[in-house]
Amino acid sequence: MKRILAAFTMAAVVASASAAPMTPTILAHDWAVGAFNADGTAEYSTNGIAPDTLTYTRSAANGEVVGYWPTWPAPAAFPVLDLAGFFGGDFAMSVLFDAQDAPYVGAPSTLDVSLTGTGANELGNDLELWGRVSAGGAPPAGLMWGMEIERVSLYGYSDWNSYIFEAAGTITGGSLAQLFGVVGFTGVVRGSIDFVERPAGLFRPEYDPSDDINLDVRAGFSGEVGEGVVIPEPMTAGMLLLAAAALARRR
């Protein structure tokens, strides 16, 4: 039993001292998003020694928010329309990355790129979904979902073109959020950032946003937004310790 407790303790120490995915889980109100800037503006900027930024702007031509599930996976998704009534609502998001915490050593291999940060808007929402859900009784077109982002994470393997993106924060408003009474609840984002013609040297091993690099790169986002939860890796390890202690008492 001492060996079991020692193993769990080591897991807790490693988890609390290493970078780790946030692994958000969407519980309800799942929005499907495929985002880019239709005007050609680069989404990802390294900004020299200042924090890196990832920005998706509002545009009627984007058609980015394509489906909405009140509960996933059933019933089938409701289509989302933009303010003019065309398919695909609008997605806007602004976040910054100001630190890195790689490497994360865990199964199945080591992640040597892991950026952390927060929402970039000091005033207003960091994430907004605009349009209308095509369903009977749905609110009129407008702001459907707003979110203040408190934590963001981008991670993966160095010198790749695709990286996992995760975010968590607070749902602040929007017609659907108000309709279902989830304003003030935890909001989460999960998906991937796919870089187009990523320059060599961007996201080398243990890349840090404070590195003096000036690049503007096109980067699409594919993923989901919704109400959910995040269990940080150190908390997970702590739960394992509690379970091990309970097992020791039973023996």
> Could you report the per-residue pLDDT of 149-168, keeping only the tens digit for each?
999 999 999 999 999 999 99
Q: Are 26 and 226 in contact (CB under 8 A)?
A: yes
Q: Which tens digit of pLDDT belongs to each residue from 217-226?
A: 999 999 999 9
* Under 8 Å between Cβ of 131 and 80: yes
Out of 50-64, 88-102, 116-130, 171-185, least confident range? 50-64
Q: Give the whole-angstrom CA distance, residue 228 versus residue 230.
A: 7
Question: In the chain, where are the structural domains located?
Answer: 25-232
Q: How far is CA 186 from CA 30, 31, 97, 155, 165, in A?
A: 13, 15, 21, 22, 17
Q: Are 168 and 230 a contacting pair, CB within 8 Å?
A: yes
> Model pTM?
0.84
What are the two backbone dihedrals, phi and then psi, of residue 15, each rounded to the nearest 5 degrees? -65, -40
> What is the distance between the alpha carbons of residues 25 and 126, in angstroms, rounded to a whole number?
19
Quickly count: other Cβ atoms within 10 Å of residue 174's Cβ: 21
Q: What pLDDT digit, counting tens, does each position of 3-27 carry?
A: 333 333 333 333 333 456 888 999 9
